[in-house]
Structure 1
Amino acid sequence: MTRGPCPGRDERRDGGFALLIVLWTMVMLSFLAFAIVSSGRRQVRMAMVERLHAQLQAQADGGVWEAAFHLLDTSPAHWRADGQVHRVRRGRVTMEYRIASEAGKVNPNLATPDLLAALLRAVGTQARAAREIATNIRAWRFPLQQGEAPPAGSAAAYAAAGLDYGPPGAPFQTNGEIALVLGMTPALAGQILPFVSVYWDADPVPSLAGPVVRQALAMAGGTPTPDDEARSQGIVGIDVIVTDISGTRALRHAVITTQVAGGDASPVRILQWNRPDDY
């Protein structure tokens, strides 16, 4: 005798599959909800971090003007452009201000090839490479005269190096432009940028220079530039670092001059405005 299908057993089997499907659906929905909540929390945290950084950056920007005020102050609270760090605690943040005269730096538009090579050697460049790059810096800032043979560092040399630009035959407009010179690597440019300035219109003043520039001056020889106190205090670099108690930081670097024309309404003029690591 052959038995027929058992309706009760089939119904239980179908019910088990349905329950399993429901359970898996609930698990998947739980994972989906968790992912959505986690993503939302990450976005909220990122928004909070971005907001904090924007607030700190605004404080760093304002810190430049605050430092300029202290530089112009004629009271005993006056801040000199001597490289000293001034720290001020305000609530959750610590403000650090540093004012240094640009007179202690090398102007790549005015420096002799010997001084440029000496500066490159002072930061660790080999003598031969230093001479070549110094020659290229000179070729960058001076136009080729009619009938003159193309020097090392000419447009042809840039093209041979695979670069789509050449020396403009004009003075450097910004400090960072020196990174474009043939032979200058990003690492080397980062090493010398803190010691160059297109804003000081004379040779470096040894009494205001740091150890690297003083070493370069000694290697290059020549007559030291006398310290003109008024002028050296009138063209300065300002670095401001704002640090929150969470460790979040914002930075601003600026070069300003207080030697403005008599008709100018502001006692300060901004010459350069960027991050300290960007120059």
Structure 2
Amino acid sequence: MNSSKRLPRGLPRAPERGVAFLLVLWVVAMLSVLLGSFALVARTELTQSRHLFDTTQARYAAEAGLDLAVYELRKSDPMMRWVGDGRPYSFGFGDADVEVRITDDSGKIDLNAPNEQMLTNLFAARGLDPDRAQGLAAAIKDWIDPDDDTTLNGAELAQYKAAGLSYGPRNAPFDTVLELQQVLGMNYELFSKVEPALTIYSGQGVPNLANAPIEVLDAQEGGSADCSAQIVEWRRSFQPGDPAAPPQPECATQAGMSIPMAAGGGLTYSVKSRAKLPNGASTTLDATIRMGGINAAGRPYVILRWRDGENS
């Protein structure tokens, strides 16, 4: 009599059951990986979509700041008009908090009508040693003059070649302020410090101190960083059109500076509009505009320079 046990018909042997169990585990593991990958992709796409939505919302809020600045600058009442001396103006736009700063370009140093001494002072006030500051100011003059004669301490084609550069001065006016980075002796670190003080649109050899940014005030003979800060606070203490302005800071008088009261301003303005959302997303729009007329887009101003998307 055979005493070996027989499995019921239809029931797999033990090794077969083990293989089936492992196969089920493998399938479950693969499904888990696929599900996890899908969840990760979905989360990534959601984050990207949210970031795109936030930056777009902040961008249009910043553009609203620019449009509001134009509206406020066009007001006929000087007591109501916004002032182009860099003071901040804040307002809410939807969920965004917007801060706008306007600088009349008449208060900046014009690279195409250069005042060498003021440029030298500007570079020295931003950390360049006096000799290099003087040489850089002279190189700017050589960049825009039409001849190939080297100014004292300046730079023409021979100096650029000696520095290993494949180009020389344009011998023509600057097309943009950014072009200053190509001038021999300039570097990005210094450029980023002096850019707010520079323009190519005023046509004036001497900036209007009523609207001058703090970098230009620092470049005045006999001035100092502390005195410049006092002048900025003094300017913000009154509104153009006030019957009488408080006396200007004593340090300005001692330095021989006479700071006029801001009046109607010019036609060219640099506008920096920063919009920030509650979740921290932000966009900064930095533009230079010229007021007057109606352009093809129906706007009462012309855009001369435009830079945006700088999250900070």
The TM-score, its normalising length taken from structure 2, stands at 0.74
SS of residue matched to 2:82: coil
How many residue pairs get matched?
265
1:18-67 Cα distance to aligned partner (Å, 9 max, x none): 32233123213211220122112111221121122112212212321221
Number of the residue aligned with 1:120? 123
Number of the residue aligned with 2:243? none
- Contact (CA 8 Å) 1:110, 1:201: kept in 2 or not? yes
Q: State whether structure 2 residue 55 is matched by structure 1 residue 23.
A: no
The 3 A distance-change label for structure 1 pair 83 and 152 is: closer
Structure 2: distance between partners of 1:149 and 1:136: 8
Number of the residue aligned with 1:3? none
Structure 2: distance between partners of 1:77 and 1:130: 41
Structure 1: distance between partners of 2:272 and 2:136: 29
The 3 A distance-change label for structure 1 pair 199 and 227 is: farther
Number of the residue aligned with 1:143? 146
- Contact (CA 8 Å) 1:118, 1:219: kept in 2 or not? no
Q: State whether structure 2 residue 93 is matched by structure 1 residue 93.
A: no
> What runs of 5+ residues in structure 2 fail to find an aligned partner?
1-5, 224-255
Bigger mean CA offset, 168-177 vs 126-135: 126-135
Structure 1: distance between partners of 2:37 and 2:146: 62
Number of the residue aligned with 1:33? 35
SS of residue matched to 1:232: coil
SS of residue matched to 1:207: coil
Bigger mean CA offset, 207-216 vs 40-49: 207-216
- Contact (CA 8 Å) 1:99, 1:239: kept in 2 or not? yes
The 3 A distance-change label for structure 1 pair 43 and 226 is: same
SS of residue matched to 1:269: strand
**How do 1:216-255 and structure 2 match up within 5 A?**
216-218=219-221, 232-255=265-288
Bigger mean CA offset, 154-163 vs 187-196: 154-163
Q: State whether structure 2 residue 220 is matched by structure 1 residue 187.
A: no
Aligned Cα root-mean-square deviation (Å) = 3.2
Structure 1: distance between partners of 2:13 and 2:175: 85
SS of residue matched to 2:280: coil
Residue among 170, 173, 179 paired with 2:172: 170
Structure 2: distance between partners of 1:107 and 1:231: 20
The TM-score, its normalising length taken from structure 1, stands at 0.82
> What runs of 5+ residues in structure 1 fail to find an aligned partner?
1-5
1:116 shift after superposition: 1.4
1:15 shift after superposition: 2.7
Structure 1: distance between partners of 2:180 and 2:258: 23
SS of residue matched to 2:121: helix
Which letter maps to 1:63?
G
Residue among 88, 106, 114 paired with 1:103: 106
1:270 shift after superposition: 2.3
Structure 1: distance between partners of 2:309 and 2:31: 49
Q: Percent identity?
A: 26
The 3 A distance-change label for structure 1 pair 260 and 121 is: farther
Bigger mean CA offset, 19-28 vs 60-69: 19-28
Structure 2: distance between partners of 1:134 and 1:259: 33
The 3 A distance-change label for structure 1 pair 42 and 110 is: same
Higher helix share: 1
Which letter maps to 1:208?
N
Which letter maps to 1:117?
T
- Contact (CA 8 Å) 2:287, 2:307: kept in 1 or not? yes
1:138-157 Cα distance to aligned partner (Å, 9 max, x none): 22111334xx4698532343
Structure 1: distance between partners of 2:81 and 2:283: 25
1:277 shift after superposition: 6.4
